[in-house]
Every structure is written in C-alpha cells, then in structure tokens.
Chain A
Amino acid sequence: MSQYILRRLMIAIPSLLGISLVLFVVLALAPGDPFSELATNPNVPPEVQAALRAKFGLDDPIYLRYLHWLAAMAQGDWGFSFVSRVDVDTLILQRLPTTLYVVGSSQLLALLIAIPVGVYAATRPYSVFDQLANTFAFIGFSLPTFFTGILFILIFSVKLDWLPFVYTSVPGSGIPWLLEMIRQAIMPVMVLGLFQAASMTRFVRSAMLDVIRLDYVTTARAKGLGQAKVIVKHVMRNAMIPVVTLVALQVPAVFGGAIVTEQIFRIPGIGSLLISSILANDTPVVMAVTFVFACLVVLFNLIADVLYGWLDPRISFR
C-alpha cells in the first residue's frame, strides 16, 4: 500500500513538470504585459516601463525564465507578484482560508442534500418524489452559477433586502461576528452548493439503483432485516464507492467553479485572485494559482484511487 502511494507520487512528478512547462509557455506566449496600465499615463515615461520590464526579467528568453521559475519553485520560492510587489505565496495563503470556507461549506451542503435525496429517490424509483427530485436536479445543473448568483442577488439583496451581496472580511469576534460571517456566506454557498448537489443527486440515485437490484440485497431482505437497515448498512455502503470517487475528483473542479461565484460576490478567494491577476497580466500569480490547481487535480486523483481500494478490498494496489 505505502509502496503503491510512493510509486504514484513518483509518477506525479514528471506529469507536474510537464504541466508546469505547458502552463509557463502558454502564459509567456500570451499577449499583454503587467505594465500596460502605465502605457497611456503621460506621467510615466516609457523608460520607466522598460526599466520595470528589465527588473522583473520580462525581457529574458522563455526557456531561461522557465528554468529560473523552476529552480526557485524547487526551493519553495513561488515567485513575486509584479502588480502587488509581494511574494506570491503570501497572496495565496491570504486568500486560501476564505476559499476553503466557502468551497468546503458548499461541498458539505451539496452532500447533505444529495445523499438523502438520492437515496430516498432510488428506493422509490419513478415515484412522485423521484420525478420531482429529477426535475430539480436537471434544472439545477443546467443553470450556470453566474446566472443563479445574479438571480439570488436580485431576489435576496435587491428586492427583499435580506442578505448583503458584497462579501467582506468582517472585523471583530464573538457571536455577532460569527453570525455576520454566516449571513454573508449564505448566498455564495447556496449557489455553489445547489449546483453541486444537482449533479450529485443524480449520481447517488443511479449508484443506489445499481446496487439495490443485486442478489445480496434480496438475501438481506429475506433474512428479515428492516428496510432502513438494508438500505443504510448494505446498499448505501457499496453504492457510496463510486460516489466517494466522484466527490474526490470533483474537489479541484469545485475550486474552478468557485472562480465565477467568487467574482460575482466579491469573495476574496483564490478564484478572484486568479481572475484579477489574469486581467492585470500578473504572470507569476497566474502561474502559481494554475499550478496549485494542477497539483490539486493530481493529488485528488491519487486520493480517489486510494479511497477506492480501501472501500472495496477486491481492488488491489499493484
């Protein structure tokens, strides 16, 4: 088992190197530069722009810049933001907690909705409840988050005036602080969570249906076990194997999906950092954030594989 993980990690290294190379080259070839805002400013002479470019090494050839970046990265130096003149890791760490809080709560919300609804729908396929659940799931994952986000803002902020739509870090502590933190997170968490829950519900339902028809379930029922016990102990446990994999694999995707939501609600997370850095052509930050996403994908793939084997001992690690 540990040997398997070690081997997978070793394999991950060349793929991460490859990813970083592709990312770097694409970003280096992309048009625009971080000092474009200075271009139309008559107070800033072109020489200053040229000096800044030289200072940040933008005039070096691509391969040299890549090697510099790689060498620095190996030593734990993530680079230096052109725009903020701050270390990139400081920027990312500053924003990580917010993203984890919002994405984590929305993922939790999605599971809390998807599992009970999916399981219940599977035990009564084609019932009214199942049909309703299906309809809502279809609506849920066909509406993109930028649409539901704005819809929520219009309803809950503008019309009803219940919730704030600008997410900000609230000063203070104690219960009122906690309540305010929850209050302002309600809309973004709902938007992200419901979107996730929609597709997950469908998945849980079909996984349950696959298992519920198997012979051992009939056997369990024949033994005289109650419906609840059969479903929870025997069916769900096996049905959850693919669901766990799906959830693990979706985590990086959720980070990606949060980018749009973060922008709409002004959540100071990694996604909005990525967007503003792309708009400002702040290459080191874009590079670092996309690379973090790449690492997350590789890592969660590995976690999914390990979990899979642990849940289903028939799968061996080789």
Chain B
Amino acid sequence: MFDKNLRGMIDDVKDGRMDRRAFVKRMIAVGLTAPMANQILAIGGVAMAQSPNPYKPTKRGGGGPLKLLWWQGPTLLNPHFATGTKDQDGSRLFYEPLASWDVDGHLNPILAAEIPSIQNGGLSADAKTVIWKLKPGVKWHDGKPLTADDLVFNWEYASDPATAAVSIETYSGLTVEKIDDLTIRITFKKPTPFWANAFVGAYGCIIPKHLFADYKGGKSREAPNNLKPVGTGPYKFVEFKPGDLIRGEINPDYHMANRPSFDTIEMKGGGDAVSAARAVIQTGEYDFAWNIQVEDEVLLRLEKGGKGKALFAVGGDIEFIAINFTDPNTEIDGERSSIKTKHPILSDPKVRQALALLVDRDSVKKAIYGRAGRTTANYLNGPEEFVSKNTKWEFSVEKASALLEQAGWKLGTDGIREKDGKKLKLLYQTSINGPRQKTQAIVKQACQKAGIDVELKSVVASVFFSSDVANPDTYAHFYADIEMFQIPMTQPDPALHMRRYHSRNIATKENKWQGPNFPRWANKEFDAAIDAADTETDPIKRADLYIKGNDLMWQDNVMIPVMHRLAVEASSNTLRPALSGWANQTDNLQDWYREN
C-alpha cells in the first residue's frame, strides 16, 4: 500500500502537482527523507534538487586568511592514500570530487555540470550505469584543462592493487569509460542502488592524469606530486610539512563564481583536542578546529569566553557495546572466541536483554556526551529513511534483575549472581579514551546493582584498533565478553555499515581476524536481508530491508547502542563554515566565508 502511494507521489512531483519539499516532508512523516528521498526521486525520474550552501560574499577573495587547526596534522596529500580523515581533509583543500554531500545529505555538484538523474539521462532504471558530465572550462592549477581522461585515469589508478590505494573499494566492481571529452559512463557489474560513491565525497577526489600517469601501480609512492598537489580546488598549493602545516593561496581561476572568499588558507596540525578548542573558542587564535572530542562540560565553559562556539553536525556515527557470541575463554585450534564455541553466559538471549536494560543512556548523555550525543535504540541511525521506528530502549535495574532471575541466575551471598556454581562475571573492554572509561564506570555500576560482576579493561587505542594478527588485545580478536567503541558511518548509505555483520564476514583466525563481523553473530534472516538489499533497486524496499536488519540486531541484542554521536567542531563566531554530518569538514570548503 505504502509502495503504491509513494509511486503516486513521485508522479505528482514529476507532473508538478506536488512540490519537492512537500514530498520530502511526507517522507519524513513516514520515516524517510534527505539523501535517499532524493535518490528515490532521482530513480523515480525527478531531477535532484540542488541546495547550495548559503553564500553571501559578492566577490572572489578579500576575506583575509583562513586559519584551521587540525589536532592531528595531515601527513600526506594524495586523496587515494589518505589513511585517515585528516589526510582526506588536507587533500581536499586542493583536490575536488565531482560532487560532495551537503548539510542535508544532498549531492552538491562540484566538478560535475549536473547531478545525474533519470530525467537528464544520467541514471539508468536498472541502476547499472551512471553518466557524469563535467563542468566545461575547469582548469588544473597548472593551467591544463580537466577532461574525462582524468576521471578514467583515477579509476585505473585507484583500482590497480599495486598502487595500494585506500580508495580501491570505491573504484572496484565498476568500469569507467570516456564518452567524450567532458562525459564519462560508469558501468557497475551488479545493480548498484547507491551509485554516488565513485568520484563523490572524500574518496572521490580527482588527481591529474598528466602528473600521475607515470606513477601508477608499484611506483605510486615515488610521485613527487604526492606532496605537491596540483588540483582544481579553491586554493592553490604553497607549502606542506607532513604532520605540521599546509599552506595554500587563493586560486584566481576557480570555477565557481565569487569563490573562494579567503585569500590564504593555513591548516596547522598537532597538539590535542582541548587546547585546539581553546585556541578557537577562547583565545580566537584560529578560526576553526576539527573533531573536538572534548567533554561537553569543558566546551560550555570555554564558550563563556565568547570568541567562538562549538558546532554539531549529525551523521550516523554510533558508539556501542558489542556482545561476544563465542567463548573468549576456551581455546580451539589456537583460537579463542572461536566460531566453534558458544558463549557460556551471553548466548542466553535473556542475559543479553538484561545487559541492554542496564546501559543508562540518559546518564551517559548527561554526564559525558551532552550536546554531542543522542540516545538511541538503533545501530543504524541515519540517514532518516533507514532509521527504524520499531525499536525502543529503557534503563531498568529491576527488569534486568527479573530477567536474570528467570534465566536461572540467582543472587549469591556476595551479591553476585550465580548459576550451577558459576559466577555471573563479564570482562568489558574498550580503548583508552576519557569518555569511554567514564561510560564503563556508569555501566559497571548498574550491572553491580543487578548482581553482575563486571571487570573493566582498557587498551591503548593504537593497539585496540590495530590489525596486528599477533596481538590478542585488538577489537577484532575480541578476547573479552563485551567491548565498546565507535564505528563511523562514512557515507549517507547503510550498505557498508550493515554488511559487516553478514555471517560470511565473521572474524576468525583463518581470515587473520580481518572479517569485520567481530561479535561473531550469525543470523540467516539478517544475511538474507542484507544480500537482498545489496541488489535491490527499489529504494523503498531497500530501506525496508536495512530497517529489518537493524531490527534483527536489536531483537537479538548484538549491539547495545550507547550513543548516536554527532561530529563536534569549534568555529569562530564570525566564520560561516559549510558543514555536513555526511561529509568531511573541508568537503564544502569553497562555500566558507566570514561575516563581520
């Protein structure tokens, strides 16, 4: 029924009987909006709206210097080698993609003349091809024209395994061909409902063929331009010191009118998040600081100084407690947490349910994340149309105790529950990080009240998140009963985010713990939903499949969501940055300006 209504509504928009905004509003009402609502319209045959960021300056330049403070300095400036977002942010000052995600999760054309849609012939109904048209007259900083050959080259460069580009996944499973000098066609091997990945956003930045053609494959690291970017972006490269400083100057030939507003740009690296926040909010030495992972209490105190403020951008990053479905204390063939075992305590759904009842999300929000967090019952928290409305959470020690009682765990004389002479004891691990240790303490306290003995463990982040096969303390080895960390959502689509927990991706010794399904959860229904979603071209059905996946995870308590985390930035009061929770901070840099 819903399906039919929707098709009617799409037709209404097409014929002009309903405006886009009304359509998107209806979508919100049924739990569907933003990027996917627009992709629905796009596949339904309605051109995507362009919602340019507000931009007031009426001339190029004259805005003085823009000083950015990244407490982790970019270490390299080739977007295809960007190890972390810091490197993507640094590269993005000079390189540009065809389109970037704006505040609402819409595609905002950068180098593209228009966003592909069925109407303009850019998209095919079978979701297998995309045709992108380049803006004419765009020049590289060295004066050479940008052409379709550059785009084809970027695909060849990144998809060559010998190049060892981190963007390889974005560019594999598809072919890129040149139609004419300003047009390319992307052909996917399978129907790809989320087509806006290659050449879009952080991994979509385009490097010039004429400077990198000789350094494809095994010689990639020798390219002199890895450190001296020549791009199409709003700023031209001046100076780069890895980990310390990037300096750029205005690109007088930039392809967008009146942009950029600033004459020079500086991105300084190093230090820590708190002092970065201080330099922007309190002393005003810098205009903007990135990723201010500081307790909200501290930010509120700094804001009293009045030179700057904290900004929050909503994305889909989720902080969660994952449950181990296998036994971390039994070794089978030299492997603990082996898929051949079952967790002695946590394989009982009642115990998992009780644990979920013991995570006091309100207190965690109040005491730690403040404005930078939202409580949630879902693992999948965005974009809107993928967010399940069927789930709920609560905090109740009584209900948890009752559940444990039902499961046969009786209170012992020492206040710890036991069953068949075995104590209810759990090892709870996470990385070393102030907010995480505080959350651990809050959860531990509630567990104690319910008669669960929780042992806390924290591991240095560089070890916890490493892919070191020999180290038993990584999150992927998961030699603990429960563990907590954050998984960021890097694009406004849940495919990658949800595919992790497919049972074929379980982390084992055999795949060197590189399988991303670290809770070792296997659920046939979930697998089927994810497999179906991967090739489902109907956006509504596809969103339903992911919601179903999320609900299955919720029912089974695979993940106990702790906090839906927002990106936190510090900005001077006069700066007007264009930020989006679905993009990196510098992704819409051309639209930044200062209001006096």
* A residues with CB within 8 A of B: 31-53, 55, 80-81, 83-86, 91, 94-95, 153, 157-158, 161, 164-166, 168-169, 171, 263-264, 266, 268, 272-273, 276, 279-281
Contacts and interface: CB of A to CB of B under 8 A. Distances in A.
B552 interface: no
A36 B473 CA distance: 13
A31 B468 contact: yes
Contacts of A80: 221
A263 B83 contact: no
25 contacts: A31-B468, A31-B471, A31-B473, A35-B83, A36-B462, A40-B487, A47-B161, A48-B166, A48-B168, A48-B169, A49-B514, A50-B512, A80-B221, A83-B76, A83-B242, A85-B76, A85-B221, A86-B242, A153-B275, A157-B285, A165-B283, A266-B270, A272-B243, A276-B73, A280-B462
B465 A84 contact: no
Contacts of B467: 33, 35-36, 38-39, 46, 49, 53
A41 B400 CA distance: 34
Contacts of B468: 31-33, 36
B476 A83 contact: no
A263 B511 CA distance: 39
State the majority secondary structure of interface residues on B. Answer: loop
Interface string B262-288: 001010111110010011001101100
B226 to A, nearest CB: 6
Nearest to B83: A37
B62 to A, nearest CB: 18
Contacts of B237: none
Contacts of B389: none
B332 interface: no
B463 interface: yes
B68 to A, nearest CB: 11
B76 A272 contact: no
Given A39-B465, A40-B465, A272-B270, A161 B283 contact: yes
Interface in B65-84: 69, 72-73, 75-76, 78, 81, 83-84
A38 B410 CA distance: 44
Contacts of B53: none
A84 B243 contact: yes
A38 B279 CA distance: 29
B164 A48 contact: yes
Interchain residue pairs A-B with the least CB separation, the first 7 = A46-B514, A268-B244, A36-B466, A42-B496, A84-B242, A32-B462, A266-B270
Interface in B469-500: 471, 473-476, 485-488, 490-491, 496-497, 499-500
B283 A158 contact: yes
B526 to A, nearest CB: 17
B534 to A, nearest CB: 14
B592 interface: no
A121 B473 CA distance: 56
A91 B69 contact: no
B325 to A, nearest CB: 20
Contacts of B227: 86
Given A46-B467, A85-B221, A86-B76, 9 more contacts: A36-B468, A42-B499, A50-B512, A165-B283, A171-B247, A171-B264, A266-B268, A268-B241, A268-B243
B170 interface: yes
A128 B500 CA distance: 72
Nearest to B499: A42
A42 B497 contact: yes
A273 B169 contact: no
Interface in B303-334: none
A276 B245 contact: no
A32 B463 contact: yes
A281 B466 contact: yes
B398 to A, nearest CB: 36
Contact of B285 (A42, A45, A164): A164
A36 B475 CA distance: 11
Interface of B: 69, 72-73, 75-76, 78, 81, 83-84, 161, 164-170, 203, 221, 226-227, 241-245, 247, 264, 266, 268-272, 275, 278-279, 282-283, 285-286, 460, 462-463, 465-468, 471, 473-476, 485-488, 490-491, 496-497, 499-500, 511-512, 514-516
B243 A38 contact: no
A83 B81 CA distance: 9
A35 B462 CA distance: 10
Nearest to A58: B468
Contact of B166 (A44, A81, A168): A44
B50 to A, nearest CB: 26
A43 B166 contact: yes
Given A85-B221, A86-B227, A50 B462 contact: no
A43 B496 contact: yes
Nearest to B515: A46
B268 A166 contact: yes
B465 A37 contact: yes
Nearest to B227: A86
A188 to B, nearest CB: 13
A55 B81 CA distance: 14
Contacts of B271: 166, 263-264, 266
Contacts of A168: 245, 266, 268
Contacts of B268: 166, 168, 266
A35 B474 CA distance: 13
Contacts of A281: 462, 466
**Which of B76, B275, B487 has most A Cβ within 10 Å?**
B275
Given A48-B168, A51-B164, A268 B75 contact: no
A87 to B, nearest CB: 10
A42 B76 contact: no
A84 B511 CA distance: 28
B368 to A, nearest CB: 20
B562 to A, nearest CB: 16
B166 A273 contact: no
Nearest to A276: B243
Contacts of A83: 75-76, 83, 242
B412 to A, nearest CB: 37
A48 B227 CA distance: 22
B429 to A, nearest CB: 15
A176 to B, nearest CB: 15
Contacts of B286: 166
A37 B282 contact: no
A197 B465 CA distance: 42
Contacts of A43: 166-167, 169-170, 203, 490-491, 496
Nearest to B516: A42
A34 B161 CA distance: 19
Contact of B279 (A46, A166, A171, A273): A166
B241 to A, nearest CB: 5
A303 B323 CA distance: 60
B169 A165 contact: no
A84 B490 CA distance: 22
Given A32-B466, A38-B83, A281-B462, A268 B245 contact: yes
A52 B164 contact: yes
Contacts of A171: 247, 264
A91 to B, nearest CB: 6
A31 B243 CA distance: 22
A165 B285 contact: yes
B78 to A, nearest CB: 8
A38 B166 contact: yes
B493 to A, nearest CB: 11
Nearest to B465: A36
A53 B73 CA distance: 23
A47 B164 CA distance: 10
Contacts of B73: 276
A33 to B, nearest CB: 5
Contacts of A158: 278, 282-283
Contacts of B500: 42
Given A157-B283, A166-B279, A263-B270, A44 B169 contact: yes
Contacts of B514: 46, 49-50
A55 B164 contact: yes
